[in-house]
Amino acid sequence: MNQSVTFNVNGIKCGGCETTINKALQVLGGVVSVQASSQEKTVSVQFDTSLTSAEAIRDAIVTAGYPVQDHG
Ligand SMILES: [Cu+2]
């Protein structure tokens, strides 16, 4: 089943940050779509709950160098 999650990531400053996060998440198994926004300071992700989890995605954002403030 697909689920959507939006993370607040204040460190997204520009298109380069968006690209870095998009690339880091697109290679994760189970990620269906990613949209990082420097305007909104958010990362919205659609993922397959049988393959990955919001926590794993959150960890991947942090590993890419962007602390995550919260998600809902
Ligand atoms: Cu940037």
Domain ranges of the chain: 2-71
Distance from Cα 1 to the centre of ligand 1, integer Å:
32
Q: Are 71 and 54 spatial neighbours (Cβ–Cβ below 8 Å)? A: yes
Distance from Cα 31 to the centre of ligand 1, integer Å:
22
pTM: 0.93
- Our separate counts of H helices and E strands in the chain read 2, 4
Distance from Cα 3 to the centre of ligand 1, integer Å:
27
Q: Average pLDDT of 30-49?
A: 98
- Give just the sign of the alpha carbon dihedral 55, 42, 11, 48: positive
Strand order in the sheet with 70-71: 31-37, 42-48, 2-8, 70-71
For the domain covering 2-71, report its CATH number: 3.30.70.100
With bands split at pLDDT 50, 70 and 90, how would you rate the model's confidence at 70?
Answer: confident
The residues whose Cβ lies within 5 A of ligand 1, an ion, are 13-14, 16-17
Distance from Cα 5 to the centre of ligand 1, integer Å:
22
